[in-house]
């Protein structure tokens, strides 16, 4: 076909004005588009068309749906349509025979069904339009129904499809495939991939000094320096460390780098002597906390003990009280049974990590006494009493502090110490819990 003339039509007159006016300067967005149009066409090719007469608007006016459905039905159900148009019944061999098809006023085939008398259902629900499962329009009509029920299952999507007024043959199969191919649903509902369990690391199958015990150290920050101090304390209490398995915490990485740097600064003779006592760091893959499952599980136990223990502290804890609490948690967690084999034999000791750490048959027990440091957060505390020559107290030293803490949990003002006569003191009777 030879094209000797091209015409372009537009219904907004403003757009035509933009294209035809080369004098004015437009905003960047408009200017870019006008430029594209002008470089691909001539101004004289552009003409005005009434909105009503614009075929490009058919879709927004809902007319296109009818045309597409009519064309589809004509393509797939030629024989049935022919029969209905000539007021005959559908051929007995037709797969649509049982659907009691009929033609509506616009010449579209609808399902007869048995709900003709229903007042509750709308016409399009009682008599949906028939569509073949192979037609592209059938596939397209599933998506809005599926969106309407927010990606729910087959039954709900089929229900929504009926409400929209379509009867697609073998709709189950089509909807099932549509759901199967929905990427967000696959991501949302897919079961987690199962991995084959890897081999246990050597440290867990080699007989070594008790690797079942836990140790808790209180650090005053998450810095590398704080971790190195904690590591030094640990080594002094528990002995040399061969391997550290950890996550990718910046303080762990910092410690490794710092130890390597200080090792590198030694002379080669000392390096040779210390080579065997170097600590080996084994880092988990990033974001793979499950790889440290064996110690993460113990952290959960520690948290569980703390959850029960901390509410028993009636005063606010200071660092020393927290450290004591941590050591008590450590003793409790380390008193768990390593095996239940001898549990029912009264004359045999059941081993716990504490037995191996303390090398004593009896378990560490929590020392009775008042825990916590009330002085740390009390507003006014008597710190010192001055006895006169007659052994009576007439002067005391008071520590006055503000109870309020800042966002970091530190005192907002430094406590001050005052000397006051004893008659300024009031004896407070401790409250008794009901």
Task: Return residues touching Zn ion (CB under 5 A).
Answer: 151, 182, 185
CB of 194 to Zn ion, least distance (A): 23
Instruction: State which residue, 17 or 153, has the beta carbon closest to Zn ion.
Output: 153
Residue with smaller CB distance to Zn ion, 161 or 333:
161
How far apart are CB 137 and Zn ion at their closest, in Å?
Answer: 20
3-state SS track over the chain: CCCCCCCEEECCHHHHHHHHCCCCCCCHHHHHHHHHHHHHCCHHHEEECCHHHCHHHCHHHCHHHHHHHHHHHHHHCHHHHHHHHCCCCCCCCCCCHHHCCEECCCCCEECCCCCCCCCCCCHHHHCCEEECCCCHHHHHHHHHHHHHCCCCCHHHHHHHHHHCCEEECCHHHHHHHHHHCCHHHHHHHCCCCCCCCCCCCHHHCCCCCCCCCCCCCCCCCCCHHHHHHHHHHHHHHHCCCCEEEECCCHHHHHHHHHHHHHHHCCCHHHHHHHHHHCCEEEECCCCCHHHHHHHHHHHHHHHHHHHHHHHHCCCCCCHHHHHHHHHHHHHHHCCCCCCCCCCCCCCCCCCCHHHHHHCCCCCCCCCCCCCCCHHHHCCEEEEEEEECCCCCEEEEEEEECCCCECCCCCECCCCEEEEEEHHHCCCCCCCCCC
Q: How far is the CB of 65 from Zn ion (least distance, A)?
A: 24
Q: Which is nearer to Zn ion, 182 or 356 (CB)?
A: 182
Minimum Å gap between C-beta 182 and Zn ion is 3
With respect to Zn ion, which residue has the nearer C-beta, 185 or 291? 185
Least distance in angstroms from the C-beta of 408 to Zn ion: 47
We find the least distance from the C-beta atom of residue 206 to Zn ion, in angstroms, to be 50
Identity of the residue, 24 or 140, whose beta carbon is nearer to Zn ion in the bound complex? 140
Q: How far is the CB of 184 from Zn ion (least distance, A)?
A: 5
- Is residue 134 within 8 Å of 72, Cβ to Cβ? no
Nearer to Zn ion, 182 or 400 (CB): 182
Of 185 and 299, CB closest to Zn ion = 185
Q: Which residue has the tokens 């401790």?
A: 430
Nearer to Zn ion, 37 or 182 (CB): 182
- Minimum gap (Å) between residue 164 Cβ and Zn ion: 17
Residue number with CB closer to Zn ion (155 or 366)? 155
CB of 176 to Zn ion, least distance (A): 12
Residue 124 zone, left/alpha/beta (φ > 0; ψ -120 to 50; rest): alpha
- Report the length, in residues, of the chain: 434
Residue appearing with tokens 């590591």: 231
Residue closer to Zn ion, measured from CB, 182 or 226: 182
Residue matched to tokens 């397209």 = 140
Smallest distance, Å, CB 128 to Zn ion?
23
Strands 393-400 and 380-387, sheet pairing: antiparallel
């Amino acid at each position: 076909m030879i094209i000797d003339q091209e015409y372009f039509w537009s219904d907004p007159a403003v757009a035509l004005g933009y294209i035809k006016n080369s004098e004015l300067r437009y905003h960047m967005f408009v200017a870019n588009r006008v430029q594209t149009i002008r470089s691909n066409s001539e101004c004289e090719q552009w003409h005005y068309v009434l909105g009503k007469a614009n075929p490009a608007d058919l879709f927004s006016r809902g007319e296109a749906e009818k045309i597409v459905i009519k064309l589809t039905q004509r393509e797939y159900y030629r024989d049935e349509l022919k029969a209905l148009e000539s007021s005959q019944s559908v051929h007995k061999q037709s797969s649509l025979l049982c659907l009691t098809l009929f033609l509506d006023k616009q010449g579209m085939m609808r399902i007869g069904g048995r709900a003709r008398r229903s007042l509750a259902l709308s016409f399009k629900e009682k008599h949906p339009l028939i569509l073949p499962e192979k037609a592209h329009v059938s596939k397209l009509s599933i998506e809005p129904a599926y969106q309407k029920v927010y990606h729910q299952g087959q039954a709900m999507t089929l229900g929504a499809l009926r409400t929209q007024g379509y009867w697609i043959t073998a709709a189950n199969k089509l909807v099932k495939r549509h759901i199967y191919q929905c990427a967000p649903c696959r991501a949302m509902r897919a079961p987690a991939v199962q991995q084959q369990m890897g081999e246990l690391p050597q440290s867990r199958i080699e007989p070594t000094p008790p690797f079942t015990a836990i140790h808790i150290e209180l650090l005053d920050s998450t810095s590398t320096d704080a971790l190195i101090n904690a590591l030094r304390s640990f080594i002094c209490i528990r002995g040399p460390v061969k391997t550290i398995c950890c996550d990718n915490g910046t303080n762990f990485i910092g410690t490794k780098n710092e130890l390597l740097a200080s090792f590198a600064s030694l002379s080669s003779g000392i390096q040779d002597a210390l080579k065997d006592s170097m600590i080996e760091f084994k880092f988990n893959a990033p974001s793979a906390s499950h790889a440290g499952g064996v110690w993460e599980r113990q952290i959960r136990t520690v948290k569980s003990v703390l959850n029960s223990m901390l509410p028993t502290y009636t005063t606010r804890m200071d660092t020393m009280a927290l450290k004591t609490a941590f050591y008590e948690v450590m003793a409790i967690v380390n008193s768990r049974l390593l095996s239940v084999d001898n549990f029912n034999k009264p004359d045999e000791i059941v081993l716990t990590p504490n037995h191996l750490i303390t090398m004593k048959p009896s378990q560490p027990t929590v020392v009775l006494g008042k825990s916590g440091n009330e002085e740390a957060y009390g507003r006014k505390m008597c710190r010192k009493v001055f006895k006169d020559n007659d052994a009576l107290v007439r002067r005391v030293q008071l520590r006055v502090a503000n109870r309020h803490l800042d966002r970091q949990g530190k005192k907002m003002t430094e406590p001050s110490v005052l000397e006051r006569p004893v008659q300024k003191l009031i004896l407070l009777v401790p409250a008794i819990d009901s």
